């Protein structure tokens, strides 16, 4: 069969890290192995009933059977503005400071397409979410990794970025609470970020995917809460983690009007917004009681405590995650992140994500997801202990 040559943009794309991981897990499961998937960040709880019911009702509305407005329904944007005002005391103009996205993953790729040209530089967290790389590679721009190290609380050191990189940089990706380290950022860090962004004319993209998941009584800070943030960038928020709506593919960006306009412009050519019923149900989620969200965060915190205490007892060192639903585990001496992940899977059936898949600075760690029941995590701890005893 004839094989057609793909574009250089497609050829530049890296292998999709998570797709490759799941292919590996499936190969073991197809052999009948007893595995525990700790490698994915896929919420395991169902979407709350009141959100599902809202979608069911909306599906009967003939208005939503037609094409939605290109930039989304005003009621959804107004709900987003109300949500940000209630949760973070941030004022947003629904018309100019909010863009609706078919999932944050899509939006993060689009942002590179909107603002990067060949030869431009994007500053990316290392380790960080691998899909930041996809859009950068697609447009032929360059990545400048910003190492996130334990000794710096997994925050980038802006003084370590060379002058040439600052000169060529047009975008900076940040993500707190952080995937994969579980670290959080404070106001002082965001103030420093805004200062550097203004100095070097860099647009900041803050990925706030885990914004609702903070531990030990501390609510994660929105980048938009800090004075000047709206002037230098946007924040991307997804419904996936906060409301267990990962399969629904609904997200939005808030902040700088010029960035919002660019997102909506590129999406005019890709999409005709998203199904109105999804927008209606998402508005319901944002405007309803957030008690379920608080319970969800408490569930992840309880799972974190159970897992970390068990691993520490077994002699493993785990960085104390302050948010997100991930634990960042140092691999034992004598292993790389990949060899440790492979050994765990082959000898115990535990499937974890090797840190090297998130960037060079992820070497020496594996990421463990908290997206399993308490019973499953207890089983995982037993397997970790047996591995350690060997």
Q: Which residues, listed in sequence order, are joined to residue 253 by a DSSP beta bridge?
A: 99, 236
Identify the pLDDT of residue 27.
Answer: 65
Residue that is last in its domain, among 287, 307, 341:
287
Same domain, 239 and 311: no
Angle at 336 between CA 331 and CA 337, to 5 degrees: 65
What average pLDDT does the chain have?
A: 94
Identify the pLDDT of residue 6.
Answer: 85
Same domain, 120 and 198: yes
Q: How many domains does the chain have?
A: 2
Confidence of residue 39 (pLDDT cuts 50, 70, 90): confident
Residue 42's domain is classified under what CATH number? 3.90.1150.10
Same domain, 142 and 240: yes
Confidence of residue 331 (pLDDT cuts 50, 70, 90): very high
Any domain includes 128: yes
Same domain, 265 and 344: no
Same domain, 274 and 384: no
Same domain, 199 and 210: yes
Identify the pLDDT of residue 26.
Answer: 66
Q: What pLDDT digit, counting tens, does each position of 65-77 carry?
A: 999 999 999 999 9
**Residue 17 above 80 pLDDT?**
no
Cα 372 to Cα 363: distance, rounded to the nearest angstrom: 25
Any domain includes 190: yes
Q: pTM of the entire structure? A: 0.94
Residue 63's domain is classified under what CATH number? 3.40.640.10
Higher-confidence residue: 162 or 27? Answer: 162
Same domain, 67 and 176: yes
Same domain, 189 and 309: no
> Residue 204: which region, alpha, beta or left (left: phi > 0; alpha: psi -120 to 50)?
beta
Report phi then psi at 10, rounded to 5: -70, -40
Any domain includes 3: no
Any domain includes 347: yes
Same domain, 169 and 271: yes
Q: Residue 385, exposed/middle/buried by CB under 10 A (0-12, 13-18, 19+)? A: middle
Same domain, 247 and 350: no
Q: Write down the residue that tokens 């004598």 correspond to.
A: 334
Same domain, 273 and 183: yes
Domain residue limits at 161: 49-287
Any domain includes 1: no
Same domain, 255 and 326: no
Identify the pLDDT of residue 281.
Answer: 98
Report phi then psi at 319, rounded to 5: -65, 135
Q: What pLDDT digit, counting tens, does each position of 196-231 carry?
A: 999 999 999 999 999 999 999 999 999 999 999 999
Q: Write down the residue that tokens 């073991």 correspond to.
A: 28
Any domain includes 269: yes
């Amino acid at each position: 069969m004839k094989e057609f040559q793909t574009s250089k943009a497609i050829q530049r794309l890296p292998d999709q890290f998570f797709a490759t991981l799941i292919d590996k897990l499936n190969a073991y499961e197809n052999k009948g192995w007893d595995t525990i998937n700790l490698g994915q960040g896929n919420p395991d709880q169902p979407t709350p009933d009141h959100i599902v019911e809202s979608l069911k009702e909306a599906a009967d509305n003939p208005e939503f059977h037609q094409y939605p407005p290109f930039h989304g329904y005003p009621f959804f944007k107004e709900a987003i503005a109300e949500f940000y005002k209630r949760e973070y005391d941030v004022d947003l103009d629904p018309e100019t400071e909010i863009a609706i996205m078919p999932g944050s993953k899509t939006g993060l790729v689009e942002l590179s397409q909107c603002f990067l040209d060949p030869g431009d530089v994007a500053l990316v967290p290392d380790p960080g979410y691998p899909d930041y790389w996809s859009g950068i590679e697609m447009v032929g721009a360059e990545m400048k990794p910003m190492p996130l190290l334990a000794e710096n609380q997994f925050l980038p050191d802006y003084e370590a970025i060379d002058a040439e990189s600052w000169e060529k940089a047009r975008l900076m990706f940040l993500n707190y609470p952080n995937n994969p380290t579980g670290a959080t950022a404070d106001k002082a860090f965001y103030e420093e970020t805004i200062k550097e962004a203004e100095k070097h004319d860099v647009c900041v993209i803050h990925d706030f995917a885990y914004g609702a998941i903070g531990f030990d009584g501390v609510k994660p800070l929105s980048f938009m809460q800090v004075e000047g943030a709206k002037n230098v960038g946007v924040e991307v928020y997804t419904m996936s983690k906060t409301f267990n709506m990962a399969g629904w593919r609904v997200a939005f960006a808030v902040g700088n009007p010029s960035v919002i306009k660019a997102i909506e412009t590129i999406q005019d050519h890709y999409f005709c917004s998203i199904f109105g019923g999804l927008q209606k149900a998402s508005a319901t989620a944002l405007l309803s009681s957030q008690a379920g969200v608080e319970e969800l965060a408490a569930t992840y915190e309880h799972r974190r405590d159970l897992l970390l205490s068990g691993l520490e007892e077994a002699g493993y060192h785990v960085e104390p995650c302050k948010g997100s639903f991930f634990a960042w585990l140092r691999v034992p001496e004598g292993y790389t992140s990949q060899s440790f992940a492979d050994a765990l899977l082959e000898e115990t059936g535990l499937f974890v994500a090797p840190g090297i898949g998130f960037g060079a600075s992820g070497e020496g760690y594996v990421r463990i997801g908290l997206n399993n029941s308490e019973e499953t995590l207890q089983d995982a701890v037993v397997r970790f202990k047996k591995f350690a005893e060997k």
